[in-house]
Amino acid sequence: MDRILLRFSEENVAEPITSQVILELGIPMRIVTATINSLGGDILVEVPAVHLKKIVKAFRDKGVIVKFPKLIEVDYDKCFDCGACPCGLCVDACPARAITLVEQHRNHPK
């Protein structure tokens, strides 16, 4: 399974794009996190690696920005449990500099 981040804008968030892609391709996706409202937002989904290219193209064709998130690693020795890192703000919001991003081990379509 691969993780991709779907970024919706204020313009396209009202449309049922995720459902459309699932119905059109018949490929199941697992939603990991979703931070989204009427102004847009992000959905992080896990998709089968063999169908990755197809799924990315389908979302991009519908105007969704698709990103390949790096994996987040937290150094718990450095972390002092403040709350400064809600989703999307993470790395540069961490005053303890305890968060780093690592590449997923895979060649993603650009």
Partner 1 sequence: MSTTKKGNGRSIAEINQKIKSGDVQVLTAEEMKKLVESSGVEVAYKEVDVVTTGTFGAMCSSGAIINVGHSDPPIKIQRAWINDVEVSHPGAAVDLYIGATMMSETEPFEYGGGHIIEDLIAGKEVELRATSYGTDCYPRTKLNTTLTKDDLNQFYLLNFRNCYQRYVCATNSRDEIIYTYMGKLLPRFRNASYSGAGELNPLMNDPDYETIGLGTRIFLGGAQGYVIGEGTQHDPTDRFGTLMVRGDCKQMSPEFISGGAFTKYGTSLYVGIGIPIPILNKGLAKKTALRDEEIFTDIVDYGVPRRARPKLGKVDYATLKSGKVTIKGREIKVSSLSSLKKARKISETLKSWIENGAFYLSAPAETLPTNSACNPMKQTGEIVFVNSVAHEAVTCSVDEDIKSVAQRIISRSVNHVVVTDKEGEIKGIVTSWDVTRAVAEGKSKLADIITKKVFTTTPEETLEAASRKMAQHHISALPVVDRDKKVVGLITSEDIAKLRGR
Contact mark string toward partner 1, 57..86, x via CB under 8 A: -----------------------xxxxxxx
Structural contact between residues 46 and 32, judged by C-beta atoms closer than 8 angstroms: yes
Where do we find the tokens 């993470």? 90
Backbone torsion region of residue 81, taken as left when φ is above 0, otherwise alpha when ψ lies between -120 and 50, otherwise beta: left
Residues paired with residue 101 on neighbouring β-strands, in sequence order: 72
* Side chain identity, residue 42: D
Task: Provide the 3-class DSSP secondary structure of residue 80.
Answer: coil
Q: By CB under 8 A, tell whether 11 contacts partner 1.
A: no
Tell me the site size for partner 1, rule CB under 8 A: 14
Binding mask 14-53 for partner 1 (x = CB under 8 A): -------------------------x--------------
Structure tokens at 5: 């981040």
Looking at residues 85 to 104 of the shown chain, list those that interact with partner 1 (rule: CB under 8 A).
Answer: 85-86, 89, 92-93, 95-97
In the complex, minimum distance from the CB of residue 42 to partner 1, in angstroms, rounded to a whole number: 12
Which residues of the chain form contacts with partner 1 (CB under 8 A)? 39, 80-86, 89, 92-93, 95-97
